[in-house]
Chain A
Amino acid sequence: MSEPAVSDASSPRAPVRALVTLPPQLRRGEPFEVRVLIAHPMETGHRADAQGRRVPRDIVRRIECRLDGELVFAADLHPAVAANPYVAFPLVAQGDGTLAVTWAGDRGFAHAMSVAVTPR
Chain B
Amino acid sequence: MPIPRPFLPGRRTLLRAAGAGAALAVVRPAAALPEAMRAAIAAFTGGVVPREGRVRLELAELVENGNAVPVTVSVQSAMTEAEHVRRIALFTERNPEPGVAVFHLSPRNGRAVVSTRMRLATSQQVVALAMMSDGSCWMASMEVVVTLAACVES
DSSP class of A's interface residues: helix, strand, loop or mixed? strand
Q: Would you call B119 an interface residue if the criterion is a C-beta within 8 Å of the partner chain's C-beta atoms?
A: yes
The count of A-to-B residue pairs whose CB atoms sit within 8 angstroms is 103
A87 and B114 contacting across the interface, CB-CB below 8 Å: yes
Given contact pairs A46-B96, A47-B152, A75 touches B111 in the complex (Cβ within 8 A): no
How many chain B residues sit at the interface, stated as a range, is 20 to 34
Chain A residues, CB < 8 A from B106 = 71-73
Given contact pairs A47-B151, A81-B118, A73 touches B99 in the complex (Cβ within 8 A): no
Separation in Å of the B90 CB from the closest CB of chain A? 8
Which one of B105, B111, B114, B116 lies within 8 Å of A85 (CB-CB)?
B116
In the complex, which residue of chain A has the Cβ closest to the Cβ of B89? A76
A75 and B108 contacting across the interface, CB-CB below 8 Å: no
Q: Would you call A4 an interface residue if the criterion is a C-beta within 8 Å of the partner chain's C-beta atoms?
A: no
Q: Give B residues with C-beta under 8 Å from A.
A: 67-69, 90, 92, 95-97, 99-106, 108-111, 113-120, 150-154
